[in-house]
Amino acid sequence: MRANVVRRKLIKPCTPTPKNLKNYKISCIDELAPSTNIGVLLFYPPKPGRIIQKLEESLQKILPQFYVLAGRYIKTNHSINCGDEGVEFVEAEAADDELPDIVGTSEQLNDLLPRRSYQMDGELDPLLSVQITDLKCGGLVIGVSVSHRIFDTCSLATFIAAWSNASSSSAENISTVIPSFDESTALFPGRHWSKVECSRMEGHGIVCRRFCFNKEAIDRLRSKLGPEDGKLKVSKVLVVSAVIAKALIGRSRDYYISHAVNMRGRTIPPMQKHACGNLVLQALSSCVAEVEMGTQELVNLMDEAIGKAISKCGQLSLGGATLKPVANALPEASTTAVWFSDWSKFGFCDIDFGQGKPVWVGIAPMHAQDTTILMGNRDGDGIEAWVHLTKDDMKLFET
């Protein structure tokens, strides 16, 4: 497909950022975040009227709350210059494409995004970019891309929820999402650490494929897995992760399996629901190449690692955090790791800008090797796994 850019501009906050907020020091976890943009694509069916102007105005309205996103990253001192340079707003048209032709695809989605995953960390690179693409059928695609340097997926979901609420005429909706930028740097002050270059960041020759696990498939897999010690049945995310990991770790080398664990609600006291930043711990499971592991063993291994990571979150206090749980939850740079991130609980399938809920939510492809993003399907009973591998590894994985 091909989307032609009609207009590209910078949108600034409707009110200037106060002087005392002009310099935002990123956290040490932000410093170690992968050099990539993350993002989603929201696909909406045809509706009468155009909402471009409303989207632009509502974006400008909420930017004072998300003032950091309108700034620029200063790599030399690991900070954001919050000088209201603006977020990128792109209007595009895909005059030859119908909604049914692109829903469910995992290829050729980059034209629906305002920028590629690797276009970040530069002095002039916007931290947030959005693209509104009109389709031939009258459908609409909203692509949102944000720098992983300052936002994790939960933060991205907070922003999109606030933006969609601001597009509504209801004042009650607008006040329900109030972001906070204090907890991240208070818990994990910057250390000017060197960024860890993991194997997932080697080059840009990564391909992304989407694999669907519907309710029936997940139930069949679950039926082969016995609950342990009277626990509830295995979660959809663990079932799918185990199947994917089993295929990936079949190579002749040792591996870590890593799951991103959201810290929000798990610290003492709990940080705010809409705390922004990279607030995740990595739950690491070690797999030895010589030891063949079945799906049940992998489920047990990952479940134990996630439980330990959640327990570590409880060691973090807003009154005086220790960096030890974070340091212990990072694999060595030379170690090969399979990375999983669960996006199924962030409410992307319910985002309504006045067009109703999206008919589908896609993932912005990343240059992140051996990374799998797990997204819930529209019905909420299945999982779509977006797997990022090298071309050669993808050929093997698909078999």
pLDDT tens digits for 347-383? Answer: 999 999 988 999 999 999 998 889 999 999 988 899 9
Mean pLDDT of 128-146: 95
pLDDT tens for each residue of 44-62 = 999 887 899 999 999 999 9
Taking all residues of the chain, what is their mean pLDDT, rounded to a whole number? 87
Whether 388 sits among the annotated catalytic residues: the reply is: no
Could you give the 3-state DSSP secondary structure of residue 29? helix
- Tell me the longest C-alpha to C-alpha distance in the chain: 61
Residue 255 pLDDT grade (very low, low, confident, very high; cuts 50, 70, 90)? confident
- What domain count does the chain have? 2
Name which residue leads in pLDDT, 345 or 175.
345
> Would you say residue 170 has pLDDT above 90?
no
pLDDT tier, 104 (very low <50, low <70, confident <90, very high otherwise) = confident
Identify whether residues 117 and 225 lie together within a single domain: no
* Residue 263 CB contacts under 8 Å (≥ 6 apart), including other chains: 271, 279, 280, 281, 313, 316
Residues 159 and 297 in one domain: no
How many C-beta neighbours within 10 Å does residue 282 have? 20
Same domain, 157 and 203: no
The two three-digit tokens of residue 79, written as one number: 């900070």
Categorize the per-residue pLDDT at 252 as very low, low, confident or very high, splitting at 50, 70 and 90.
Answer: low
178-190 pLDDT tens trace = 899 988 888 888 8
Residue listed under structure tokens 């977006």: 386
| Shared-domain flag, residues 213 and 238 | yes
202 pLDDT more than 70? no
What pLDDT is recorded for position 199?
A: 38
Residue 192 lies in a domain: no
Q: In what order do the strands lie in the sheet with 206-213?
A: 206-213, 383-390, 371-376, 337-342, 255-262, 280-287
Is the pLDDT at 331 greater than 70, yes or no?
no
Q: For the segment 5-15, what is each residue's pLDDT rounded down to a tens digit?
A: 999 999 999 99
Angstrom distance (rounded) from CA 128 to CA 109: 18
Determine which one of 30, 134, 148, 274 is catalytic: 148
CB 265 within 8 A of CB 271: yes
- Min mean pLDDT across 78-92, 214-228, 257-271, 324-338 is at 324-338
Read off the pLDDT of each residue in 277-288 and give the average, rounded to a whole number: 91
Write out the two tokens for 349. 């399938």
Q: Would you say 338 and 289 are in contact if contact means Cβ atoms under 8 Å apart?
A: no
Question: pLDDT band at residue 201, thresholds of 50, 70 and 90?
Answer: very low
In the predicted structure, residue 162 carries a pLDDT above the cut 90: yes
Catalytic member of 101, 121, 125, 352: 352
Within this chain, do residues 170 and 62 fall inside the same structural domain, yes or no?
yes
In this prediction, residue 148 carries a pLDDT of 95
Question: For residue 362, which amino acid is it?
Answer: G
- 111: closest CA among 143, 137, 88, 148? 143
Specify if 151 maps to a domain.
yes
172 with 236, same domain: the answer is: no
25: β partners: 79
- 332: tokens are 């060595």
Whether 193 maps to a domain, the answer reads: no
Q: Tell me the whole-structure pTM to 2 decimals.
A: 0.91
pLDDT at 171: 47
Identify whether 102 is part of a domain.
yes
Domain membership flag for residue 308: yes
Bridge partners of 199? none
Percent of the chain with pLDDT over 90: 60
If asked whether residues 228 and 357 sit together in one domain, one would say yes
Gyration radius from the chain CA atoms: 21
Please give the torsion angle defined by the CA atoms of residues 353, 102, 399 and 297, in that order, rounded to the nearest 10 degrees. Answer: 10
Which among 309, 287, 208 is positioned nearest to 242, based on CA atoms? Answer: 287
Domain identity same for 269 and 387: yes
At which of 157, 187, 217 does a domain end? 187
pLDDT score, position 93 = 94
Whole-number pLDDT of residue 196 = 47
Secondary structure of residue 327 in the 3-state scheme: helix
Quick one: pLDDT band at residue 197, thresholds 50, 70, 90? Answer: very low
Angle between helices 153-166 and 52-62 (to 10 degrees): 120
Are 140 and 232 within one domain? Answer: no
CA distance 166 to 146: 19
Question: Is 329 within a domain?
Answer: yes
Residue 125 is among the residues annotated as catalytic for this protein = no
* Closest to 127 (Cα-Cα) out of 110, 109, 108, 144: 144
Helix/strand number for the chain, H first, E second: 11, 15
**What is the pLDDT at residue 228?**
52
- Beta strands 37-44 and 360-363, pairing class: antiparallel
Q: Residues 182, 291: one domain?
A: no
Average pLDDT value for residue range 324-330: 52
Residue that is written with structure tokens 């999983």 in the block = 340
Give the pLDDT mean for 8-24.
Answer: 96
| Angle CA 145–344–204, to nearest 5 | 40
CATH number, domain containing residue 25: 3.30.559.10
Do 114 and 135 fall into the same domain?
yes
Highest mean pLDDT among 126-130, 193-197, 234-238, 325-329: 126-130
> What percentage of the chain carries pLDDT values higher than 70?
88
My answer on whether 287 and 178 are in the same domain is no
Q: Which domain holds residue 390?
A: 199-398
Q: 3-state DSSP: the chain helix, strand, coil percent, rounded to 5?
A: 30, 25, 45
Residue 323: pLDDT over 90: no
Mean pLDDT for 197-210 is 64
Asked if residue 363 is part of any domain, the answer here is yes
Specify whether the CB–CB gap between 164 and 130 falls below 8 A: no
What's the average model confidence in pLDDT over 242-248?
Answer: 92
In whole angstroms, give the CA distance from residue 170 to residue 119: 36
In a domain, 169, yes or no: yes
35 band by pLDDT with thresholds 50, 70 and 90: confident
